[in-house]
Chain A
Amino acid sequence: MCLAVPGKIVSIIEDGNLGLRRGRVDFSGIRKDVCLDYTAEARVGDYVLVHVGFALTVVDEEEAYRVFEALRELDQLDELKVSAPQ
């Protein structure tokens, strides 16, 4: 039930009917209106995590790639390929 899906804000409406700030958010082609009241810092182009119609956080893009950098640093992929040719 605590599912939250990342989507990209394509436009922002400041005087929405419900909630003060709404955004149109694109989820890989499906667009939905989302309440942005809890993410005042969100701008067009930002990715937000959306749960039951509410954006609850702006995705930190730098942090998002940290794990891949860590994996690259471990450089284990190359090691895997060398030590276990299949």
Chain B
Amino acid sequence: MKFLDEYRDCEAVQKMAQTIRRSTTRPWTLMEVCGGQTHTIVKTGLQDLLPEAVTLVHGPGCPVCVTPIAMIDRAVAIAGRPAVIFCSFGDMLRVPGSSQSLFDAKALGADVRIVYSPLDALNLARANPDREVVFFAVGFETTAPANAMAVWEAKRQNVSNFSMLVSHVLVPPAMETILSSADCRVQAFLAAGHVCMVMGFEEYVPISRKYRVPVIVTGFEPLDLLEGIQMAIAQLESGRAEVENQYARAVRRPGNHAAQERISDVFEVTRRTWRGIGEIPASGLRLRETYYRFDAELRFPMEIRDAEESPECISGLVLQGIRKPYECPAFAARCTPDTPLGAPMVSSEGACAAYFHFGRRIQDGNPVVSIAAAGD
């Protein structure tokens, strides 16, 4: 596929890795923010190409992983109501709530459907005027323009049986939370390229200055990630801390203006609770008052109690890059993708699932086999 395959080219990747090995003189810890980037790194074994001095830790950029249990419980409760068609992106369905996942709800008879786009949910609403169609709007800034457009269109076309359960989160406040933690190990960020494709990267400039960290807007293919790492290390080695753009084929400094406008037409910034991390001020989006009639939380009011995480799950530490998934005693033993204790083991982009599926066991200093293939 053009604009994908070139960035997976083995020779180019090796060449970039060699540049990194040559320029690294000291130990550095970098965090890639986005779960999609984590997935590429672990799946392709990029860490093995890097010098030992370079450590990659994995960030909180998996929307599935940071959606609070109480929000999953609310989704399950709404999905179970008569006349509701509950629509969601596929990877939310297996995430465990306090007692059920959306898949469990579907097995018990709820009408839960996987959609590719929020516009598919809006079309379902128009095709089923006697049903209540609810879309689970989960995601980062990348997904916000699509979800904003669905609500905007619902209002314009007066589709009154459509609503959204909004659990949108924003990347920069989470980066600041990580940087201001006493346990922070992160010395440079690979910022999430597709988030920046929408939002641009001006908002990272004050973060980079305040915390003296290089921030490299980075793409998702192996060569992108290695170039991002190379740019970060070049800054660290020379004592610079700036915002740079590796992913210039997709990201422009101001971002996508039309998309930003539609987002702020429909949504406003609010505080959000991040699963495993806690509440972060001004870290998410909710519908503006003029769109309240499309808010599923208001349309289906119900009391949802705060739910407890499994006490064994260390996902909060994993999501902040403080621990690696395999440092968890439950990893690949009591916690697997079939019986997950926490969301990072569920989502295909979750760091724990990535290590489970693609992480390699080291035996006598040699990587042998994926943890999943090795059984327990």
- The answer on a CB contact under 8 Å between A1 and B12 is no
List the A side residues contacting B149 at CB < 8 Å: 19, 35, 37, 54
- The answer on a CB contact under 8 Å between A18 and B123 is yes
- The answer on a CB contact under 8 Å between A37 and B138 is no
Chain B binding site: helix, strand, loop or mixed by DSSP?
A: helix
- The answer on a CB contact under 8 Å between A76 and B18 is yes
Q: Name B251's closest neighbour in chain A (CB-CB).
A: A57
A-B contacts counted at CB < 8 A amount to: 134
- The answer on a CB contact under 8 Å between A2 and B195 is yes
> B residues bordering A, Cβ < 8 Å?
1-4, 6-7, 11-12, 14-16, 18-19, 34-36, 61-64, 89, 91, 116-120, 122-123, 138-140, 142-143, 145-146, 149, 153, 192, 194-195, 197-198, 220, 223, 227, 248-252, 256, 258-259, 262, 347, 349
In the complex, A19 Cα to B34 Cα: how many Å? Answer: 28
Q: Name A68's closest neighbour in chain B (CB-CB).
A: B12
- The answer on a CB contact under 8 Å between B194 and A19 is no
- The answer on a CB contact under 8 Å between A56 and B119 is no
List the A side residues contacting B36 at CB < 8 Å: 1-3
In the complex, A64 Cα to B12 Cα: how many Å? Answer: 14
List the A side residues contacting B349 at CB < 8 Å: 1
- The answer on a CB contact under 8 Å between B117 and A38 is no
Q: What distance in Å separates the Cβ of B260 from its nearest Cβ neighbour in chain A?
A: 9
List the A side residues contacting B64 at CB < 8 Å: 1
Point out the residue from A3, A52, A74 that lies within 8 Å of B19, measured CB to CB: A74
- The answer on a CB contact under 8 Å between B258 and A4 is no
In the complex, A64 Cα to B251 Cα: how many Å? Answer: 11
In the complex, A53 Cα to B15 Cα: how many Å? Answer: 35
Chain A, range 59-83, C-beta contacts under 8 Å to B: 59-61, 63-64, 66-68, 71, 74, 76-77, 80
In the complex, A23 Cα to B146 Cα: how many Å? Answer: 15
List the A side residues contacting B192 at CB < 8 Å: 2
Most interface-central of B18, B91, B142 (chain A CB within 10 A): B142
> A residues bordering B, Cβ < 8 Å?
1-6, 8, 18-19, 27-28, 35, 37-40, 47, 49, 51-54, 56-57, 59-61, 63-64, 66-68, 71, 74, 76-77, 80
Q: What distance in Å separates the Cβ of A11 from its nearest Cβ neighbour in chain B?
A: 18
- The answer on a CB contact under 8 Å between B116 and A53 is yes
List the A side residues contacting B145 at CB < 8 Å: 38, 54, 56
Q: List 30 A-B contacts (CB under 8 A).
A: A1-B36, A1-B63, A1-B138, A2-B34, A2-B61, A2-B139, A2-B142, A4-B197, A6-B3, A19-B119, A28-B1, A28-B2, A35-B149, A37-B149, A38-B256, A38-B259, A38-B262, A49-B194, A52-B118, A53-B116, A53-B117, A53-B119, A54-B146, A56-B145, A57-B250, A64-B249, A68-B12, A71-B15, A74-B15, A77-B15
- The answer on a CB contact under 8 Å between A57 and B197 is yes
Q: What distance in Å separates the Cβ of A6 from its nearest Cβ neighbour in chain B?
A: 4
In the complex, A27 Cα to B258 Cα: how many Å? Answer: 24
Q: What distance in Å separates the Cβ of A3 from its nearest Cβ neighbour in chain B?
A: 6
Known: A64-B6, A68-B6. 14 other contacts (CB 8 A): A1-B35, A1-B143, A2-B194, A3-B36, A4-B197, A6-B2, A18-B122, A18-B153, A37-B258, A49-B197, A51-B194, A53-B119, A56-B145, A71-B12
In the complex, A74 Cα to B1 Cα: how many Å? Answer: 26
In the complex, A80 Cα to B249 Cα: how many Å? Answer: 28
